[in-house]
Amino acid sequence: MQPATRDPIYLDHSATTPVWPEVVDAMQEFFADSYGNPSSIHAAGRSAYAGLQKARSSIAAHIGAGPSEIIFTGCGTEGNNAALRGISLARRAATGANRIVSTAIEHHAVLETLEDLAELHGFEPVLLPVDGLGRVAPSDLEEALQEPTALVSCMYANNEVGTVQPLAELGEICEAASVPLHTDAVQALTREPVSVDALKVAALSVSAHKFHGPKGVGFLYLRRSTPFRPYMTGGGHEGGRRAGTENVPLIVGMAKALDLCMANAADEATRLQALRDELITNLLEGIEGAHLTGSRQDRLSHHASFVFDGLEAESILIGLDMAGIMASSGSACTSGAHQPSHVLSAMGIDPPASYGAIRFSLGRDTSGTDVEYVVRQMQRITQQLQAAQAFAM
């Protein structure tokens, strides 16, 4: 095959996104000029503090929160750890409740933390099942909350299959049971509407690199009245909830990226949804043995994920890469690990079917021409692999 001569097509925005030039520009000032420690009282410290607080207010406004309800973190994983550990420990101390209700399809940052909380602190995690499309049933949550519960944690949208949960409905159930709801909104913010009051969430974790901000920064929204035991102890930063000097340049970059994304989030979601649907329809029609994973309706606007009968994701991804297309086999964290996906297993898709899982996640630069090219290449690659398999039999 000829090496690819066209511009590469990046379709792995659920793994990470390119940092936009305006975001780099916004950070530059806080690396070079306003480099003070935001806790210092001199001029350099004050200008860093001003940048930090401006970023805090602007981020808070985008999700309908108050500035003091934003805790800056190092990543989405940290936000999930903070919420699960900080709220569960404080709630158990206050109420005696020992159960944490979550779902079988959470990111490892939640699932591993739940295991740790069980092992280290004796918590009892309860994982709700999902249906074949990756959806949690509100009635299952209602039933689970019949027993005293310290915390509920349910992701807003799934990274592997793109399914969006009925979070506002789950929030209402939690509110009625007086149990705080945490959501991992790492994949959802800028793609789905996020208002902390409408969703009735007590905590929400976010990561900047999923929306064109830098890696290594995120935030946790924590509702004012929510019991919380600080998990990073030290100085009194972040209202005593997360000690450590704030990374002002990255935080400013995250705020800028969020501003840029939110400026036309609805229009961009509509544009991407049309491209996504074209990709889904044409791949399902054009490739024998292709199946969509996750919900067709309740799905992230930029996300299309599939399994291909009898094929391995790795061979498809290599073929795509050679054709200049960057995609992934599901979550960036488990791809390459050669382990069956816990998300697909929970949806009833077990190996060997799950070994052929491919995820395309579109972005700001994705065009209709790109989608047509991807469909053509996918047809060629899968046909070649199917032919090679038939020959080997």
Active site (catalytic) residues: 333
Query: Based on CB atoms, which residue is closest to ligand PLP, 81 or 282?
Result: 81
75 lies in the binding site for ligand PLP (CB under 6 A): yes
114 lies in the binding site for ligand PLP (CB under 6 A): no
Distance of CA 297 to the CA centre of its chain: 19
Number of separate helices (H) and strands (E) present in the chain: 13, 12
With contacts defined by CB under 6 A, how many residues of the chain interact with ligand PLP?
13
Binding track, positions 362-381, relative to ligand PLP; x by CB under 6 A: --------------------
Instruction: Write down the least CB distance from residue 392 to ligand PLP, Å.
Output: 35
Instruction: Write down the least CB distance from residue 375 to ligand PLP, Å.
Output: 26
Do residues 239 and 68 lie in contact, with contact meaning Cβ atoms separated by under 8 Å?
yes
Do residues 219 and 59 lie in contact, with contact meaning Cβ atoms separated by under 8 Å?
yes
Compute how many other C-beta atoms are within 10 angstroms of the C-beta atom of residue 289. Answer: 14
Instruction: Write down the least CB distance from residue 321 to ligand PLP, Å.
Output: 20
Instruction: Write down the least CB distance from residue 324 to ligand PLP, Å.
Output: 24
How many angstroms separate the CA atoms of 73 and 243, rounded?
10
Query: Based on CB atoms, which residue is closest to ligand PLP, 13 or 56?
Result: 13
84 lies in the binding site for ligand PLP (CB under 6 A): no
How many angstroms separate the CA atoms of 179 and 177, rounded?
5
Compute how many other C-beta atoms are within 10 angstroms of the C-beta atom of residue 84. Answer: 29
Instruction: Write down the least CB distance from residue 239 to ligand PLP, Å.
Output: 22
Query: Based on CB atoms, which residue is closest to ligand PLP, 48 or 250?
Result: 250
How many angstroms separate the CA atoms of 77 and 200, rounded?
22
Instruction: Write down the least CB distance from residue 251 to ligand PLP, Å.
Output: 14
Query: Based on CB atoms, which residue is closest to ligand PLP, 218 or 249?
Result: 218
332 lies in the binding site for ligand PLP (CB under 6 A): yes
How many angstroms separate the CA atoms of 185 and 27, rounded?
24
Q: Look up residue 249 and give its amino acid.
A: P
330 lies in the binding site for ligand PLP (CB under 6 A): no
Query: Based on CB atoms, which residue is closest to ligand PLP, 75 or 265?
Result: 75
Q: For 343, left (φ over 0), alpha (ψ -120 to 50), or beta?
A: alpha
Find tokens 């789905």 and name the residue.
192
Query: Based on CB atoms, which residue is closest to ligand PLP, 335 or 366?
Result: 335
DSSP state of 299: B
How many angstroms separate the CA atoms of 231 and 249, rounded?
23
Do residues 382 and 31 lie in contact, with contact meaning Cβ atoms separated by under 8 Å?
no
230 lies in the binding site for ligand PLP (CB under 6 A): no
Do residues 264 and 256 lie in contact, with contact meaning Cβ atoms separated by under 8 Å?
no
Binding track, positions 208-227, relative to ligand PLP; x by CB under 6 A: ----------x---------
Query: Based on CB atoms, which residue is closest to ligand PLP, 66 or 244?
Result: 244
Pick from 85, 91, 107, 242 the residue near ligand PLP by CB under 6 A.
Answer: 107
Helix axis angle for 265-286 and 368-392, nearest 10°, is: 30
Binding track, positions 147-186, relative to ligand PLP; x by CB under 6 A: --------x---x------------------------x-x
Distance of CA 18 to the CA centre of its chain: 16
Instruction: Write down the least CB distance from residue 257 to ligand PLP, Å.
Output: 13
How many angstroms separate the CA atoms of 304 and 284, rounded?
11
76 lies in the binding site for ligand PLP (CB under 6 A): yes
Instruction: Catalog residues that contact ligand PLP under the rule CB under 6 A.
Output: 75-77, 107, 109, 155, 159, 184, 186-187, 207, 218, 332
